[in-house]
Amino acid sequence: MIFHYLFAFLFLVLGENFLVDGLGCNWGTRATHPLPGNIVVKLMKDNGFNKVKLFEADPRALQALGRSGIQVMVGIPNDMLAPLAASVSAAEEWVSKNVSYYLSSKGVDIRYVAVGNEPFLKTYNNKFTRTAFPALQNIQAALIKAGLGRDVKATIPLNADVYETDAGVPSGGNFRADIHDLMISIVKFLDNNGAPFTVNIYPFLSLYADPHFPVEYAFFDGTSSPVVDGSITYTNVFDANYDTLVSALEKNGFPSMPIIIGEVGWPTDGDPNAKMEFARRFNQGLLNRISQGQGTPKRPSPPDIYLFSLIDEDAKSIDPGNFERHWGVFYFDGTIKYPLKLSNNRNLTAAKGVRYLARQWCIMAPDANLMDPNLPQNITFACTYADCTSLGYGSSCGGLDARNNASYAFNMYYQTMNQQKGACDQFHGLSIITKIDPSYRGGSCKYEIMIDTGRHEKATNPGTSSAGKMHTTFVFVSFLLALIIFCVS
| pLDDT digits (tens), the chain, 489 positions | 443 444 334 333 333 333 334 689 999 999 999 999 999 999 999 999 999 999 999 999 999 999 999 999 999 999 999 999 999 999 999 999 999 999 999 999 999 999 999 999 999 999 999 999 999 999 999 999 999 999 999 999 999 999 999 999 999 999 999 999 999 999 999 999 999 999 999 999 999 999 899 999 999 997 778 999 999 999 999 999 999 999 999 999 999 999 999 999 999 999 999 999 999 999 999 999 999 999 999 999 999 999 999 999 999 999 999 999 999 999 999 999 999 999 888 999 999 999 999 999 999 999 999 999 999 999 999 999 999 999 999 999 999 999 999 999 999 999 999 999 999 999 999 999 999 999 876 578 999 999 999 887 444 344 434 444 434 344 344 444 444 444 444
Q: Are strands 197-200 and 157-159 parallel, antiparallel or unpaired?
A: parallel
Global model pTM greater than 0.75: yes
**Distance in angstroms (rounded) separating the CA atoms of residues 218 and 225:** 10
**Distance in angstroms (rounded) separating the CA atoms of residues 99 and 112:** 9
Burial class of 222 by CB neighbour count within 10 A (0 to 12, 13 to 18, 19+):
middle
Please say if 448 is a catalytic residue: no
**Distance in angstroms (rounded) separating the CA atoms of residues 72 and 193:** 19
Domain at 22-345, CATH homologous superfamily: Glycosidases (3.20.20.80)
Greatest alpha-carbon span in the chain: 92
Please say if 263 is a catalytic residue: yes
Cβ neighbours for 405, distance < 8 A, ≥ 6 positions apart? 379, 391, 397
* Domain regions of the chain by residue span: 22-345, 361-434
Q: Kindly name the residue from 263, 313, 324, 448 that is annotated as catalytic.
A: 263
CB contact at 8 A, 92 and 142: yes
Q: Kindly name the residue from 118, 313, 324, 448 that is annotated as catalytic.
A: 118
**Distance in angstroms (rounded) separating the CA atoms of residues 432 and 411:** 10
The alpha carbon dihedral of 162, 167, 173, 178 has a sign of negative
Instruction: Provide the 8-state DSSP code for 364.
Output: E
